[in-house]
Homo-oligomer: A and B are copies of this chain.
């Protein structure tokens, strides 16, 4: 079973990386681009085959390692 975890900065948290991308796009001539935010995508290969248990395990991983819950949100998708 595969899990996709997306980690994004919470609303209101400054995102200098996203801002830099936005500026670079403008410099390249791409107009009409508003806010840009950058996040992380983590793909995990899991041995667990039960979706509920897999989700619980990935949830624990997000809490302990994959995200900083003070400033980041995470979303889990099982594939």
Contacts and interface: CB of A to CB of B under 8 A. Distances in A.
Contact of A42 (B7, B21, B28, B64): B21
Given A33-B44, A41-B8, A28 B64 contact: yes
Contacts of A18: 42-43
A34 B21 contact: no
State the copy count for this chain.
2
A39 interface: yes
A48 B24 contact: no
Interface centre among A8, A45, A46, A60 (most CB of B within 10 A): A45
B45 A30 contact: no
Contacts of A37: 42-43
